[in-house]
Structure 1
């Protein structure tokens, strides 16, 4: 391939890729985008009532540990409106819209907290189920979910036709459950629950708004024009300050969460590799990523301190230089969290039973399908002769049977062959025989048929 041909191929390839990934083709007009986003910013009237109803639904779902109910609450929540408004307002330098969106979101957050707190105060159920506990400790993945969910949401909002992406973003980013979990923490005076859940809620809305801001800037949506140039400069400064104040903590937050997740992954790998003994088992592992502490609880034969010191010396090589490793054995006096240990065993048993159940369900389904085919075959063997005698009066009796043989590669026939024995009162003509054969193939959906006429 010469250089000219190679250059042309590369240019064509770039053109194809650009065309495939282009967002300009179905992009809505700037006026439509502006009107669409502004319409969902205000949290009053209908939106406010829907928010309170959604909060009640989500709180009930968390209280009874129902994932389906929680998803339903996320679908009807109107919280995405003001969050998108924050990112859009910052993107087009519209300080009044940015302030309006912040006000709406703050008010909606307070209403959500008050509503969920009220529910959990009067609810007779005060157990923190798994759905509640899952919203009390944010991870780095929540940052990525908020960011990419926000990107999907704002791209959908800038299209000519509205799609079902926004409800999907509401489910993926899960704004409602952490807000309700914060209300659960307030109602019970559990500040760890409150701050953890509100922390997750903050991550979600900050990164959704940040994603909206990025897309609006990239799409070059028309910015707001100010008559007074001094006012325009002041508005841009305010917006820049808000963006920086929001972005710096969120960036630090994302960096810290990613660091904690990396520490957990490295610590888990280290424990699995270093504590692999024949007569001693790891009963429990507690990893505190914030304080860089790894606690390992052992059951079985006692491990000498010299061997444990050798294991600790390997921390630096595994990227855990600042980590503290504490090992507790039977003689240390440190009690093992038996409830967590039992929970782990029960979880393993449940997962194994679920796998076995799925295999059994699949096998039952296969048997049902085979039984259905067998019943359909029996009906076919009785129905075909009766229909045949009606269509061809010369036929006195007909019997349909089945045989199996090697498949013919030449004419692509099935290995299954249908044999039709015909007892005719009068001799059938060649044309009638062909008609019967064609009808039989069409009726049975099988091209491999054999007629035996007597």
Structure 2
């Protein structure tokens, strides 16, 4: 709303504060418009009016300057006051955010009268008990902020914590627990899928690494362990060999390791039995046994 309209509204409702503020703003606007006009005329070098009485001209200029200074003084004071208020607000917000909200042991309840800049008082309302040590720590922390270091700190705390805040904490705990359970369930499903993929890959590897007459290695190794309980390691593979470096033969080689408690004679007997069993299972004529 323009200043003159505001002034008229203030007169209509009998609010002299509205009227005075609007007229003051109108006066400032008028003076600065006149000052801007004067500067533009000077810049464009318009010819100035010649006064016959130079003394009267000087008095007029001085009077105009005095009026401008008098009008500007309240504006300057208001600007400085607002600037200082903004510094108070900035440091107070920094103090609350850094030293209170980041402290899990403090539950601050923000209110409109937290910062009283006129009386230099900071009132903090906490939902819960605040120890004397914490009060001393907050009083020391406030001195880190230049604009509010001289403010008086008043702590208002309840001896019992609010049931609403406790319920909020409990709800957050339940929500966090549900979230973790969901994550665990997803991970469990992924593990099961990976295990199934590994099993399928093993079958593919076995099918590609053996011919039509070969048996599954997993079944063969399991049966070997059942039949020969002293086995600690078992493996077999097809190996190519050449005795004359011309003809190539395919032989079956089994790698085994027995329990160290067995004597050499017992190992010899078991290896002969294992060799016969492998020939029958693998449907081959020759099986070489190698100790691992």
TM-score range, shorter chain: 0.3 to 0.5
Q: Which has the larger radius of gyration?
A: 2
TM-score (norm 2): 0.44
TM-score (norm 1): 0.30
Q: Which has the higher contact order (CA 8 A, sep 6+)?
A: 1
